[in-house]
Structure 1
């Protein structure tokens, strides 16, 4: 994956840098360290860089890195003490019965499936607030606010209530969103042998992040939805009309 890091910087000062991370890029290096990660790209640009929190590889959106040890300590404490506001947007399968609600279900590592998480009564407390922004025939656009930061939290909680995130291969059906699903009179163009998906990656985006800087200034950062995500919502809205 080659991309210009400058195009993805949402905000930067002497203490931290906020990035609108593309889907498919690791936030920090994995154990093997063979794959490119956002942290390694930032290291090349800034030298020393400190991880404050992370996003799943396939989730796009806001992620913050500290640029010095004092900022790292200050920001990490806020994330750990749940003093930050983290808002995500996601497309989920189906229509939710309640337009808004709170999912308070403990999450733990899956006992048999490595790398996956699951709702389990002996797991760690996990709380997700959700609000339906718009409903379509097959999908719903939902805003999530996470009050805890468990691995795969939104994905696990949405699977648990029967509305997994669209295109989620780990917790849903992993199927892409196709225009032919939405349009009754869909015709494949002659140039294409097979249909190109509207969206073929996890439909989850970290859109807003609020926290306090070292001097107690309040930061409220926003990352616009990626192009593929916006185009998909656009087509869903068209099909609804």
Structure 2
């Protein structure tokens, strides 16, 4: 995959913001078994520096610094909670309140390394959420994270009882099928089995805001990707039809 295949959301002498597709690593994994976005940027631009990261299956805005000074500055901004980070995600079911905060400390799960849990001994972690649209089986939710813990949105969504859809670690991992949202669904006689309508982690890093070292304010946004937008259209379509029944 070449850099020309990515949507560049912002590009300055100090940093670059990329619209990362789902399924691509942000940075190299331990065994370097597959290519990462940082390596692709290194090849295209020379060395870049990791400021933050997204989970492999999360799509959306990710920022890399182009020099050590910017890396140090932006890293401090992230660590100091000066960066505004918003996500969009489909969660299972409908949260009981239309908006709220999840203030649950997060730590690594001692019984399942590489995964996280809400635990009193964890690091302080705060996520605000707003339900944008609800469709019964799924709801579209905006999350704002005020801390940057590993898997924070996914862990907090699970903690409130409504995990991110198609999350294999913190949810049931089951794909979304049209039969689950459309009344009286019938497969075509030519189909042997129903194909998933949506089959990856339903989480998108939507928007990020910060002040650069020169004092300029940035708000960088990634539109909802095609697959999530297609799911949203189907949910709206069949919600409307169901309401008429």
TM-score (norm 2): 0.95
- Secondary structure at the aligned position of 1:108 is classed as strand
Please, what is the CA RMSD of the aligned residues?
1.2
Question: What is aligned with 1:15?
Answer: 14
Question: What is aligned with 1:238?
Answer: 237
Confirm or deny that 1:163 pairs with 2:162: yes
The 5 Å alignment of 1:184-223 reads 184-190=183-189, 192-223=191-222
TM-score (norm 1): 0.96
Question: What is aligned with 1:25?
Answer: 24
- Structure 1: gaps spanning 5 or more residues: none
Q: How much has 1:27 moved relative to structure 2?
A: 0.4
Confirm or deny that 1:85 pairs with 2:84: yes
C-alpha distance in structure 2 between counterparts of 1:82 and 1:114, whole Å? 26
- The count of aligned residue pairs is 240
Q: How much has 1:178 moved relative to structure 2?
A: 0.8
C-alpha distance in structure 1 between counterparts of 2:182 and 2:230, whole Å? 14
Confirm or deny that 1:154 pairs with 2:153: yes
The 5 Å alignment of 1:60-71 reads 60-71=59-70
Question: What is aligned with 1:139?
Answer: 138
C-alpha distance in structure 2 between counterparts of 1:196 and 1:213, whole Å? 45
Q: How much has 1:126 moved relative to structure 2?
A: 0.4
C-alpha distance in structure 2 between counterparts of 1:188 and 1:44, whole Å? 46
Q: How much has 1:132 moved relative to structure 2?
A: 0.4
Q: How much has 1:3 moved relative to structure 2?
A: 5.8
Q: How much has 1:26 moved relative to structure 2?
A: 0.7
C-alpha distance in structure 2 between counterparts of 1:43 and 1:14, whole Å? 15
- Secondary structure at the aligned position of 1:137 is classed as coil
- Structure 2: gaps spanning 5 or more residues: 241-245
- Secondary structure at the aligned position of 2:52 is classed as coil
Confirm or deny that 1:34 pairs with 2:33: yes
Question: What is aligned with 1:179?
Answer: 178
> Does the 8 Å contact 1:126/1:150 carry over to 2?
yes
- Secondary structure at the aligned position of 1:90 is classed as strand
Q: How much has 1:4 moved relative to structure 2?
A: 4.9
Q: How much has 1:8 moved relative to structure 2?
A: 2.0
C-alpha distance in structure 2 between counterparts of 1:127 and 1:237, whole Å? 30
- Secondary structure at the aligned position of 1:158 is classed as helix
- Secondary structure at the aligned position of 1:25 is classed as coil
